[in-house]
Structure 1
Amino acid sequence: MRVSDSARVLFVHVQKTGGSTIDRVFDEEVPDARRVPGVSRHAAYRRLVVLEPELADYWSFGFVRNPWARMVSWFAMVSGMYAKHEAGNVQTLRKFERFPKTWGQLEPFAHDFDKFVLEAPRAIAKVGRLQVDALTTPAGRRVDFVGRTERFVPDLNVVRERLGLPAVEAAPRKNVSSHAHYSTYYNDLTRRAVAEHYAADIEAFGYTFDAQP
């Protein structure tokens, strides 16, 4: 999450949607960029406007991603971190030491994609959390602009214009995991499991399994 009070803009960071790249735009190009104190950088819109009610009047935005692709990205991140941990990577070991509860919860799902899809959304809140819930208040108010990872640069330029920044032709993504096309990871069971658990996201944003990229 980031805020610019001068531009009256609020960014709600949904995990695994390119948010770290947007954080970097704020941090490097917006002089008064700040975070809302006392909450996670992935705090939901509803939480942010409770803590700072004036943010309800700011232009707000977040990004979303195809749920099937997002699950593959989640798994690639988790399995990659555990591979580094098992190899003794010093930076990764420190992360595990800082957040033992988080990584302890993820460990049972780090090596089996099917298990991750079928069980992690119910066992781990941050994995199971709906994107639409993160971007909507209890009264049903959604952020003003919902960008999509699938058209990241054009939608990022909508945000940049709002911040008074020049448009870009490319946006090097931060924390991008390396993996094959998401569709190759699924069988009928896991495909249906994502459709069922994230049905509200699929309906709200019009995603389908066969959508590209």
Structure 2
Amino acid sequence: MLPDINLAVVPSRVRRLDDYTRFGVVRNPWAKMVSNYTMFVVEDHQYGWANDQIERLFEMPRDEISFERFIELARRRPNHHWEECYEFFPKLPDGSIDLDYIVRLENFAEDMRVIESKVGMSLDIEHRHKTDHNTYREYYSKETKKQVQKMFENDIDHFGYVY
């Protein structure tokens, strides 16, 4: 498994980013929010703090949070789990993303093969924190679909996501 690298703490003399293949991972916003709902509200999380964290963030017991309520609350309560991927990526002055490749979680295995061919080695990246739920389309009403569209406007525009 690859270690997490925080470029903010890497000395600038070491950071020659042109020497690296730089990629980011994006996810369908509607699928992302169903996964977040499942992880924080539905599942009894393996880490007890996560169960308490969502109750503190939303100021109500998890068993009182429907999917519709989760979306409404998430729109008002920022959290890195439902921030736009676009916001995390380095940008050029014109606002375009300054990465070599974008990996889509929906095509993770295929996209990672492209990265592996670019870097010339096999990358052993495991899928952790996988949630068990139905297809994301089964969770949405017209209203919640629109709310998530507003929340993830940049991701939808920059990465071409459609419901």
**What residue is the counterpart of 1:156 in the other structure?**
112
Q: Give 1:104's match in structure 2, choosing from 37, 53, 56.
A: 56
d(CA) in 2 for partners of 1:180 and 1:56?
A: 40
The aligned amino acid for 1:186 is: Y
The aligned amino acid for 1:153 is: A
Contact 1:135–1:142, Cα closer than 8 Å, also in 2: yes
Q: Closer, same or farther in 2 for the Cα pair 1:128/1:35, shift >3 Å?
A: closer
**What residue is the counterpart of 1:126 in the other structure?**
80
d(CA) in 1 for partners of 2:56 and 2:90?
A: 30
**What residue is the counterpart of 2:47 in the other structure?**
92
Residue-pair matches, total: 155
Question: How much does 1:166 deviate?
Answer: 4.1
Unpaired runs of at least 5, structure 1: 1-23, 27-33, 40-47, 85-90
Q: Closer, same or farther in 2 for the Cα pair 1:151/1:71, shift >3 Å?
A: same
Give the TM-score of the pair, scaled to structure 2: 0.78
Q: Closer, same or farther in 2 for the Cα pair 1:35/1:70, shift >3 Å?
A: closer
**What residue is the counterpart of 1:78 in the other structure?**
40
The aligned amino acid for 1:207 is: Y
Unpaired runs of at least 5, structure 2: none
d(CA) in 1 for partners of 2:80 and 2:16?
A: 23
Identity of aligned residues (%): 26
d(CA) in 1 for partners of 2:107 and 2:61?
A: 30
**1:147-188 residue CA offsets vs partner (Å, 9 max, x unmatched):** 1112111101122223432489xx863221000110010001
Contact 2:32–2:82, Cα closer than 8 Å, also in 1: no
Contact 1:109–1:120, Cα closer than 8 Å, also in 2: no
Contact 2:22–2:99, Cα closer than 8 Å, also in 1: yes
d(CA) in 2 for partners of 1:103 and 1:144?
A: 39
d(CA) in 2 for partners of 1:115 and 1:177?
A: 19
Question: How much does 1:197 deviate?
Answer: 1.5
d(CA) in 2 for partners of 1:103 and 1:142?
A: 37
Backbone CA RMSD of aligned residues: 3.0
Q: Closer, same or farther in 2 for the Cα pair 1:137/1:146, shift >3 Å?
A: same
More relative contact order, 1 or 2 (CA 8 Å, 6+ apart): 2
